[in-house]
Structure formats: structure tokens, C-alpha cells
Structure 1
Amino acid sequence: MRKVDLATFAAAHADGATVIDVRERVEYVGGHVPGARCIPLGDLHASIRDLPRGGTVYVICASGNRSQVGADLLGRVGIDARSVAGGTAAWARAGHPLTDGSRA
């Protein structure tokens, strides 16, 4: 299963992990994990060639459902991708910061 818990993700994020937010842009603008790049799930396949291949990519959404689909898609093309359990909602509930606006 391509899923990580919030503590594992928080540690990876602190170390500068690559984070892809697969929510729609309007959701992303409302608040996202700092540094996360917005690639809506429907656009993910077309963006595969732009993603790093050398490390783990963390995929996040609102609650963990879309990110699981995204992580599975990336895994099928050889990218080490992990879905963040609980998503952005769990990140915020745990007291981690969110960034608003369209910039990562």
C-alpha cells in the first residue's frame, strides 16, 4: 500500500520532500501544505514527465482518497509515491501550517 502516516510525512516534509497536492486549484488556493505543488488529479498523468524520479514523492489531497489514486498512478509508472493519510485536513488539525494563495 502506498500510504504514509502524518508523522512520517511531517518528518519528510521538514527534510524538503517533494509534495504534490492533487486537489483542484480552488481547494489548493484556500490552504495547502507549504511547498506543495498543485497538480490536480485529472492533470497528473500529463505531468508525469515533470516529476522527480530520484526520491519519494508525497501526494496529498483533502482527506487521502484522491491522493491514494494519485500515488497508485505514479507508482505504476515507476515513481516512488506515497499518499498522505488524512490529507491536508489532518495536517491542519495536527497544528501544522497552511499556506494560502496560488504559490507553493
Structure 2
Amino acid sequence: MREADVDVFAAKLAHGGFVIDVREPDEYTTGHVPGALSAPLSGLGSVLGELPGDRPVYVICASGNRSARAAEQLAALGVDAVSVAGGTAAWARAGRPLVRGNAAHAA
């Protein structure tokens, strides 16, 4: 399973990186990375058709545990998936912005 720290992830996101948030909907609405598609781990299969096939998919959760599992599942399906180390907590600790509400909510 591939992993990126929040600084690498932020640089990739700034250049059009694709990100999914595998936390539950209530966690997502309390604060998520700008542009993150909500794709709870329990329903990950329902968003497979929305994932790009031509670039990495960054996977984020609260702390990195669920995103690591999701990245492994996606990689097994042929998706170029990268887990974000430290998750949304590390993103927020680094002073990066969070969006509240359901923007980019899919699943």
C-alpha cells in the first residue's frame, strides 16, 4: 500500500489531485479536505465508477487507518490508490483548510 504525507498530498491536490474521504457522512460534514469526494469505507464499491483511471486516487480518513485499508482494497481492484498518512487530523494540524457540509458528497 502506498502512502503520502500531508505535505506531498497538499502539493498533489494543488495540481489537480483526486481525493476521496472514506469517513462516515457525519464525520465528513464536520470538516473535510476541499474537493474530497465522500466515499464511506462501508460503501466504497459504489464510487468505483467515479474514480479516475489515469491518475492516483488519494484516500483520506480521520487518522490514516481506514484510508490504508481502503487504499489496499482499491489497489487490489487495479486503482492507483495512495493513503494519506495521518488523515484529516494531520491535515488540520498542518493548518490546512477544512470545508464543512456536504460539498462533493457522493455516497
TM-score between both structures, scaled by the size of structure 1: 0.96
Cα root mean square deviation, aligned:
0.8
Gaps of 5+ in 1: none
Q: Secondary structure at the match of 2:63?
A: coil
Within 5 Å, which residues of 2 pair with 1:1-104?
Answer: 1-104=1-104
Q: Secondary structure at the match of 2:55?
A: coil
Shift of 1:97: 0.2
Residue deviations 1:31-54 (CA, integer Å, cap 9, x gap): 000000000001102321221111
| Distance in 2, Cα, partners of 1:24 & 1:54 | 27
Q: Secondary structure at the match of 1:70?
A: helix
| Distance in 1, Cα, partners of 2:93 & 2:34 | 15
Residue deviations 1:61-89 (CA, integer Å, cap 9, x gap): 00000000111111011110000000000
How many residue pairs match? The answer is: 104
| Distance in 2, Cα, partners of 1:48 & 1:102 | 19
| Distance in 2, Cα, partners of 1:64 & 1:45 | 19
TM-score between both structures, scaled by the size of structure 2: 0.93
**Quick one: which amino acid aligns to residue 15 of structure 1?**
H
Gaps of 5+ in 2: none
